Structure 1
């Protein structure tokens, strides 16, 4: 795995991207925004995405990525870590936090998959057989993304492994051995769930609030909030990771 590390102050902030994306592409302008500027941050490209390797014998499921994240934190010997994950990266962040226990001080996710079933894009990708998606489906998704005006996602998908994308999507649809919602609710860290304002209403806004989870909103953004309002997302992450 490859990552961009920005030296700075505070507990290290690990950033995990979503399906088909790359932290090295999406998040430099988030962590350089005023609210996070000067923060020690690690922008990780998961295996199969961005600049990281694409091993053919890797599983690429949520739990596989979570184990890799756990291994990285142990290898770097961080005694405390804040983790932020978006969409699929949020599910990975939740599973990694479960493995890391009280090393995680703040667990922040934005529009993470809390339940099996996936979202619109992951369901469309998982509906293909893996061999067919690798042969023609990935290219079709790139064309569709570009045609719909989602050029940033198309650019990141172009750099991603088709195998990694398909297996990640299938994992989101199938769910984990333990549901991510329960893991998120039960983790001992300070937890925040972030929505883009254009993604609301969402039933989890009220549900999570009622369970004592801090909920925040990024204005002028939908699901792709790192692209649509990087400064607003940076402010939400900074607020969520303030030491009490």
Structure 2
């Protein structure tokens, strides 16, 4: 694992950088997750093995630092990731992102249009969080209440019904989870959906077969977004069908290359 200093306070993100000759893929994880937890099995699949694969833990998650005085907005995550890809000299790269990580990825993509080959999103947040989503629930609590009790309750409640996510969430900063969730509730201007539609590269959106939304698929296809489906999986497709997700990512890359 490697580390990268994101600011003048010496805060660091940590990441895996797996070698490959083909275009680098930057993996950005969702809420309460970590690249080091979600994506090793996906990234090791035969169809992606020739790519350089960079699996990051966002600040506040996984093995990365968890400062309490950081803003943790979606915009702030995108800012340091922009510096990160520039410092790694990724003059051509692919972004893959899941769920709320998709909002971070889209703000990053908006800053790095000229250096991107394509963007591949899996069930990404394109609009501000709505009632019924975890980020809406977390982001509408008072931060003090969430940090001082509700966070632990959420981890405990999910330990049996969604143990993989509970495990990853338990090592996140409760402050970071609260603040990025509030950022998701607040949304962005332009919206992440508008950014996606405006990107000049070819774009792919992945659904899990069990969580496919027909109306959303139709809307995305109307804007010339390529759609891929991961069989036998829902929203947590990296854990439910890692091989299927890797193959869907690769199909998105081949689509962008006209193959």
Q: TM-score range by the shorter chain?
A: over 0.9
Pair 1:124-2:137 in alignment? yes
Q: Which of 68, 79, 99 is the equivalent residue of 2:80?
A: 68
Task: Tell me the distance in 2 between the aligned counterparts of 1:17 and 1:105.
Answer: 19
TM-score, normalisation: structure 1: 0.97
Matches within 5 A, 1:130-149: 130-148=143-161
Unaligned runs of 5+ in 1: none
Greater relative contact order (Cα < 8 A, sep 6+): 1
Q: Which of 111, 116, 119 is the equivalent residue of 1:104?
A: 116
Greater shift, 174-183 or 195-204, is seen at 195-204
Unaligned runs of 5+ in 2: 1-12
Task: Tell me the distance in 1 between the aligned counterparts of 2:63 and 2:201.
Answer: 30
Task: Tell me the distance in 2 between the aligned counterparts of 1:153 and 1:188.
Answer: 34
Conserved? CA contact 1:102–1:189, under 8 Å: no
Task: Tell me the distance in 2 between the aligned counterparts of 1:182 and 1:198.
Answer: 26
- Give the aligned CA root-mean-square deviation in angstroms: 1.1
Conserved? CA contact 2:24–2:94, under 8 Å: yes
Q: Which of 169, 194, 201 is the equivalent residue of 1:182?
A: 194
Q: CA deviation at 1:14?
A: 0.2
Runs of 4+ with deviation above 6 angstroms: none
Conserved? CA contact 2:45–2:243, under 8 Å: yes
Task: Tell me the distance in 2 between the aligned counterparts of 1:113 and 1:202.
Answer: 16
Number of aligned positions between the proteins: 243
Q: Which of 212, 217, 221 is the equivalent residue of 1:209?
A: 221
Q: Spell out, residue by residue over 1:160-188, the C-alpha distance to the aligned partner (whole angstroms, 9 max, x if none).
A: 00011111111111101320000000011
Q: Spell out, residue by residue over 1:89-118, the C-alpha distance to the aligned partner (whole angstroms, 9 max, x if none).
A: 111111100001121111111111111124
Greater shift, 212-221 or 30-39, is seen at 30-39
Q: CA deviation at 1:127?
A: 2.5
Q: CA deviation at 1:39?
A: 1.9
- Structure 1 counterpart of 2:6: none
Task: Tell me the distance in 2 between the aligned counterparts of 1:199 and 1:110.
Answer: 11
Conserved? CA contact 1:216–1:236, under 8 Å: yes
Task: Tell me the distance in 1 between the aligned counterparts of 2:65 and 2:248.
Answer: 31
TM-score, normalisation: structure 2: 0.91
Greater shift, 162-171 or 111-120, is seen at 111-120
- Structure 1 counterpart of 2:10: none
